[in-house]
Amino acid sequence: MRALAIIAATLTFAAPLAGNVQAQEYPSKPIRLVVPYAPGGATDIIGRATAEELTKTIGQPVVVENRPGAGANLGSEMVARAAPDGYTLLTTASSTHGISPFLYANLPYDPNKDLAPVIALASFANVLVVHPSVQANTVEELIELAKAQPGKLTCASSGFGSSIHMSCEMFKHMVGLDIVHVPYKGSAPAITDLIGGQVDLMFDNIPSAISHIRSGKLRALATTGAERATALPDLPTMIESGVEGYQSGAWFGLAVPAGTPADIVARLNAEGRKAVEAPAFVKRIKELGYDIVGGTPEQMAAMIDEEVKRWGPIVKASGAKVE
């Protein structure tokens, strides 16, 4: 009996020790950070800034890999199917969790079950921008133009299911407008065509549009948050512009495959907190129009629940569906 007690005690001690060894050894090789959008957009900007900071502190290179397509679901599913060992991360967006499950009829994975939250990194409102040739200097004038020419104006987005897409759908639904949605594989190619005049307007993320607004290549009409954006303080909100109750935005975070060990998630969260508190990171992303979020995996999970409640009814009301 005494021998059995000694064995049991040894096993009890060994179990947490094994976990500690795993935590101490991780990471022992480079980490891949998948960005499910094309280079140059808001998701890519925050992903690369985060990878740069993580590389400084985590002890291994964090390499960004862009995998755009299917409204971010291509890259997101790839991460969801990856080994849950902490070596494949996802720069996820609020739209992946709150919009895609309602928009895609046959989604081959569940972003809210197959991905585990690590940390919310940053957030921002979107901004309604038009090509300078569009005869509208205010939201009110744009509404009048759209109503006078139903089906003529085009609204670009970074892809089906993105916050950019749904911001446009919300606008159309709330005001009763016939505007044609034109999806792209990422914000950057959409902005390129908007600047070139191939499309008329877009509810772009502030970080990817702000330089073009400042240069005069695009005309900004309003931001989409509850309050004016810090980066564009002179620009009215959609609510101030007469669209009562209009509010949309986006946030970005890190996620890992479901089943990733808790100690690895905790380590990544700790490193993520260091990243969003780093002076260079804070300065860089605030200048681009982001707001810092941070927090725990549990807080990010609560944010995901809020997105599901906010966007589910809007997607259904819009009638948008991707087979």
- What's the pLDDT score for residue 168? 94
- What's the pLDDT score for residue 158? 85
Q: How remote is the C-alpha of 121 from its chain's centroid?
A: 10
Whether residues 43 and 120 share a domain: the answer is yes
Whether residues 131 and 218 share a domain: the answer is yes
Does residue 202 contact residue 194 with C-beta atoms inside 8 Å? yes
Q: Domain holding 268: CATH number?
A: 3.40.190.150
pLDDT tens per residue across span 188-222: 899 999 999 999 999 998 888 999 999 999 999 99
Closest listed residue to residue 155, CA positions, set 221, 202, 223: 202
DSSP code per residue over 112-156? TTSEEEEEEEEEEEEEEEE-TTSS-SSHHHHHHHHHHSTTT-EEE
Q: Domain holding 207: CATH number?
A: 3.40.190.10
Whether residues 164 and 111 share a domain: the answer is no
pLDDT tens per residue across span 36-64: 988 988 899 999 999 999 999 999 999 99
Does residue 285 contact residue 207 with C-beta atoms inside 8 Å? yes
Residue 20 placed within a domain: no
Residue 185 placed within a domain: yes
Whether residues 57 and 200 share a domain: the answer is no
Structural domains counted in the chain: 2
Residue 242 placed within a domain: no
- What's the pLDDT score for residue 13? 45
Q: How remote is the C-alpha of 95 from its chain's centroid?
A: 6
Q: How far apart are CA 75 and CA 158, in angstroms?
A: 14
Residue 36 placed within a domain: yes
Q: pTM here?
A: 0.77
- What's the pLDDT score for residue 23? 53
Low-confidence stretches of the chain (pLDDT < 50) are: 1-19, 21
Structural domain boundaries enclosing 96: 30-124+249-318
- What's the pLDDT score for residue 75? 97
Whether residues 290 and 262 share a domain: the answer is yes
Whether residues 165 and 207 share a domain: the answer is yes
